[in-house]
Chain A
Amino acid sequence: MTQASFHPPRVAAWLIELFTPYEQTESIPGDLLEEFSDLASKSGAACARRWFWRQTVPTISHLVRGGFQAAPWSTAGVVFGGLLLVQLGHMLSEWTIRAGTQFFNHHYLPPYPHLRLAVFSLNGGMYLTRLMVSALIGCIVALISKRKEVLATVTLSLICGIWAIPGFWNFWHGSKTHRVAIVLPVLLYSFGGSFAIVIGGGIVRKFRLRSLRPARSW
């Protein structure tokens, strides 16, 4: 096997790329790749992959801590602004969908159960709207946070995720029947927004990186 055929774990490499500050996008991934290739040719791909993962977790933790220490107040300010946006965005999207549902119920749907499928679709629309609004908020927060987009959106997403835990806990303990059947939509409704925020941040970061330098492969 030639040296060029070794590749580090995709997920680990992607995480490193995501959290590395712009001024170190050449050095940190380059150093990791250099040592990975060296280790892979000496001790084999499996050993090198394990080493790469062992490096990834503490490296990300140091990069996150370093990011906060470099600009604690501006990061906290952006995250707080993001929290307000999340509340406003979810309130508006839910209000719009509920108003739409009531309108359809009242004007168009005769009171037959099978036609309530349309209302169910509208509820599906509510999930989708919530995800889209969250991704949009992730993009806005990433744009405002300048070069700390992943740090800001991951923090915001963690706070939103923790915020959603009591709601999910109440659902799990409150509904004794059919809870397994509807656990996926409830999970999506509770935590999907948090993932969408990070995805929004990741998209902005990807575009910024592309504008700064050509895409590099691992």
Chain B
Amino acid sequence: MSDRDYLGEFEHIVVLALLRLAGQAYGVTVRQEIEVRIGREVSIGAIYATLARLETKGYVNSYLGDPTPERGGRSKRFFRVTAKGLVAVNRTHRALQKMTDGLSLARGYSP
């Protein structure tokens, strides 16, 4: 994996959601955070597929919590961003900022 890798659009959104939720980031809260903040309904499968990819890249890690009765005795899997993930999200963010600097995006959408 190259150190110059950037996060994809949805990977970027998911990592930012994990950072916002701090220690409370698991499937349900991540999905709801994205839905509330950007108004996009995403499936739990999309969240887990992205988190699995980020975990393989070493950008996030996870651990199992205790089983709870409202989940039918199943445990929550909590996620957190690693130091490598923080570097990647900053790099992506800077790249996007450099690319948008000086652009009047509103002009592109005006009739």
Among the listed stretches B1-9, B13-21, B44-52, which one makes contact with chain A, having 4 or more residues with CB under 8 Å of it?
B44-52
Given contacts A26-B64, A28-B27, contact A66 B49 (CB under 8 A): yes
Number of A-B contacts (CB under 8 A): 81
Contact check: which of B45, B53, B74, B77 meets A60 at CB < 8 Å? B45
A63/B45 in contact, CB under 8 A: yes
Residues of B in contact with A (beta carbons under 8 Å apart): 26-28, 31, 43-46, 48-49, 52-53, 64, 67-68, 70-77
- Measured CB to CB, the nearest residue on chain A to B27 is A31
- Chain A residues bordering chain B, tally (CB within 8 A): 27
A31/B26 in contact, CB under 8 A: yes
Given contacts A27-B26, A30-B75, 6 further A-B contacts (CB under 8 A): A26-B75, A31-B26, A33-B71, A33-B72, A35-B31, A70-B52
Chain A residues with CB under 8 A of B44: 28, 31-32, 35, 55, 59
A102 sits at the interface (CB 8 A): no
Interface residues of A in 8-53 (CB under 8 A from B): 24, 26-35, 37
A210 sits at the interface (CB 8 A): no
Chain A 186-218 per-residue mask, 1 if CB under 8 angstroms from chain B, else 0: 000000000000000000000000000000111
